[in-house]
Each structure stands twice: as C-alpha cells, then as structure tokens.
Amino acid sequence: MHTVIKKNDKRVIRGWSFFDWANSAYALVISTAVFPPFFSATAPETMSFFGVPLTSTALYSFSISFAFLLNAIMTPFLSGLADYSGRRLFFLKFFTILGSIACMSLFFFDGPETAWLGLTSFVLGTIGFGACVVFYNSYLPDIVTEDQLDKVSAQGYAYGYIGSVILLLIILALIQFKDVLGFTSDSLPVRIGFLLVGIWWYGFALLTFRVLPKENKLKFQTSFLSKGLSEVTSVLKLLLKNKNITLFLIAYFFFIAGVNVVIYLAAVFAEDVLDFGRTELIILILLLQFLAMIGAYFFAFLSSKIGNKVSLLIQVAIWVAICTTAYFVTGSKEFYILSCFVGLVFGGIQSLSRSTYSKMLDDNIDSMASYFSFYDVLTKLAVVAGTFIWGLVNQLTNNMRYSILSIAIFFVISFFILMAVKVEKK
C-alpha cells in the first residue's frame, strides 16, 4: 500500500540519508560514547533485580538484551501491519518520537538513586531506535536502483557519522568548558548532552519525513492485526525457500552480533579494564567515527571491484583478529591502534551488509518492510545473543577480557557460513 517513489531522486536520497544523521546521535552518544561510561560511573556497583544482586555492568548488558529481544518480537508484526495498511511512515515517526523523548528523559538521571530511571530511559530509547531502523532501511531499495545500493547505503552511514560527531563535539565542549559555562556539577553538561540528543534526533528526522511520500493509508480495521501477521508469515516462508538468502542471514546474525557488542560495550571495556577517562573515551569514539565513514566508502568501492562476498569475508576476518588481540591489550596506545582497525570495518560491514541483502531480494515493493523486518529481527536477536553472552561471561568470571574473547567465536562461525553464500558481483 505504499506510494511508488521515483528512484535515484537526489532530493529524496539526501532526505533519506538525513535520518541516519538524526538517529545516529543516539547510536554514538547514548549507546557508545557518553551514556555507558556515565552509567558505569553513576550507578551503584551492585543493583538488585527482583532480589538478585547483579553488577551494574552486567545489568547494563542484560538491559540491552531485553530491549532488543522486545524489539525482535514486536517489529516483524508491526512491519507486516505497516505493509498491509500503508502505515510504514507512521511507525517510523512514532518510534522516532518515542526514542527522542526517552533520550531527553535521561537528563533526570543524576545519581545512584535514579539509576533505574536511567536504565529504563535507556531501554525505551533503544526500543525506539531499533524499531524505527527497520522502517527506515526498508526505503533503501524503494529510492534507488540496484546499481546504486552500495553507494547510497554508504552515504546514509556517512551522514550518520558526520552528524553524530558534530553533536558529540558539542557535548565534549560542554564537558571540557563546564567551569567557563558556569555548570555547578560534573554531571550537568553530560545530562544536557542527553537532552540535546533527543532534540537533534527528532529535529533532523523532520527533514526525512518531508521528502518521503504520503502513504495511502487504509482505515484501520481489527482484521489488520491478523492480516499483518499473515503478511509476515508469508514473507518468512518465501525467505526460507531461498537457501542462499537463509545462509546469508545466518552468517549475518553471527557477525553482526559481534559488531554490536563492540558498539555497545567497547567504552565500558576501555573504562573498566584500561582505565580510560571520559574525555579520553570521547576522543577515541571520534576517531572511530571518522574511520568508520572512510571504511563505509572504502568497502563500497572494494565491493565494486571484488564483489560483496569477498569484501564481507575480509572484514569478518579482521574482526576475528580484533577480538583476539583485544584480549591481550594492556595499554591505551595499543588500544588506540586496535581501534583504528575497528573503525575501518565498523562502518564498512554494516553498510555492505544492508546493500548486499537488498541485492538478494526480489523487487517486491508492497512487502519490502516485511522483508527488512526479518533482517532487522536478526540484528536484534544477534544483539540479544551477543550482549547476553558478554554479560554472562562477565558475571561468571568478573573479567571482561574473557567476554571480548568469547565474541571472537561469533565471527569465526559467520566466516565459514558466509563462504557458502553466493552473491552475484554487480
């Protein structure tokens, strides 16, 4: 029930890319650079969860698992409903608003006594971010022809890296010059940063909402609930019939699990294991973002020369080396060098995965959100698996070095499965 979009329209592509600019502020500031170390430093060392004492770092990891599990259950159903009733843009807007408000509410997380408020807001923000991404991604094959998928997918990530870095620099300035700006506490500039993330996310998302066409929404009926679920089920059956796509999605599950663990928990690892300070962490993340933008374009170029499959295999092999090496890292200098490699493959593997999946799909516009919901569900379940394993190993050993080593196994498994996937060189 979606309005057909004119493909390769520069205005639409630019507007679509700005959503990455908008929501990547959450991905960088909340999930990676600022909130994780802030939570680790502000929350009590041990928190009670239904009477069970858990370390705050393990509980933080489990909260990510919970948020993504909930999203994995919810978004396939919603995407089927969106495809059938013509409400893809509606859901994109709804979850954008939910996520941005959750980020702004983190302003009120200012001490151990409000740790649960901070964790709850983080979970809601993660749900909003994770849910809106599936609807956003589903527009990619709608707005460009197949020969432009790699390039435009990389452009979206590049917009995200640039926009999020700009906001992170603003927040870094608030932290560094807090005395000059008259802030009365160390936490206030950080909490103002959380507030800015929500405003930034929603404000720039409006640019995307303006260029995406209005949809032919059908009047809501209760039958849409069962029909939406039926839509998802039919798409699942079609995907399972295609052995090649199934193999790709399984391989994707394992390597994106490892990637997302690094995204969400690298800052915690650097702070707790290597004693990185807040400013040092933010500088490190800025370096990662810059290199990730380069990596996204580099691997898009490389895939045009040697194909998507080989490009992905190279990146997965690098990730195996990264996780294995991280186990032995003891100093900040070594970690900075390792982070350079993380940055290069961090952007490239996400961008190329999205475009590779798009190439493997039939040109079925009416159910594109449902197709991408399965891609998104695997992403979320992968995050659940990765963060749960990380948190479990950390809880059992009280040593995050073993956690990062365990993640290398995910990449090894994905490498061998990916070798069996056939991806045509475009």
For residue 275, give the CATH number of its domain: 1.20.1250.20
| pLDDT tens-digit profile, the chain (426 residues) | 445 567 888 999 999 999 999 999 998 889 878 898 899 889 898 888 888 888 888 888 889 889 888 888 887 677 666 666 677 888 899 999 999 999 999 999 999 999 999 999 999 999 999 888 878 887 887 888 878 877 888 788 789 888 998 999 999 899 889 989 999 888 999 999 999 999 999 999 999 999 987 776 666 666 666 665 676 677 777 778 888 888 999 999 999 998 888 877 776 777 767 777 767 777 777 887 788 778 878 888 888 888 888 999 999 999 999 889 888 888 778 888 888 888 888 878 888 887 888 788 765 545 566 677 677 778 888 888 888 888 888 888 888 888 888 889 999 999 999 999 887 654
Q: CB count, 10 Å around CB of 40?
A: 17
Rg of the chain, C-alpha, whole Å: 21
What is the C-alpha separation between 58 and 47, in angstroms, rounded?
10
Which class for 77: exposed (0-12), middle (13-18), buried (19 or more C-beta within 10 A)? middle
What is the pLDDT at residue 4? 59
Tell me if 113 is assigned to some domain.
yes
What is the C-alpha separation between 258 and 263, in angstroms, rounded?
9
Q: Which structure tokens are listed for 234?
A: 């039919």
What is the pLDDT at residue 1? 47
Query: The dihedral of CA 160, 165, 168, 170: what is its sign?
Result: negative
Tell me if 424 is assigned to some domain.
no
Tell me if 4 is assigned to some domain.
no
| Domain of 326, in residue numbers | 10-212+224-418
What is the pLDDT at residue 366? 55
Tell me if 239 is assigned to some domain.
yes
Tell me if 201 is assigned to some domain.
yes
Tell me if 1 is assigned to some domain.
no
**What is the number of domains present in the chain?**
1
Tell me if 217 is assigned to some domain.
no
Closest CA to 327 of 376, 397, 256, 280: 397
What is the pLDDT at residue 313? 94
Q: What is the pTM of this model?
A: 0.74
What is the pLDDT at residue 331? 76
Cα first-last separation, the chain: 29
Tell me if 219 is assigned to some domain.
no
* SS3 of the chain: CCCCCCCCCHHHHHHHHHHHHHHHHHHHHHHHHCHHHHHHHHCCCEEEECCEEEEHHHHHHHHHHHHHHHHHHHHHHHHHHHHHHCCHHHHHHHHHHHHHHHHHHHHHCCCHHHHHHHHHHHHHHHHHHHHHHHHHHCCHHHHCCHHHHHHHHHHHHHHHHHHHHHHHHHHHHHHHCCCCCCCCCCHHHHHHHHHHHHHHHHHHHHHHHHHCCCCCCCCCCCHHHHHHHHHHHHHHHHHHHCHHHHHHHHHHHHHHHHHHHHHHHHHHHHHHHHCCCHHHHHHHHHHHHHHHHHHHHHHHHHHHHHCHHHHHHHHHHHHHHHHHHHCCCCCHHHHHHHHHHHHHHHHHHHHHHHHHHHHHCCCCHHHHHHHHHHHHHHHHHHHHHHHHHHHHHHHHHCCHHHHHHHHHHHHHHHHHHHCCCCCCCC
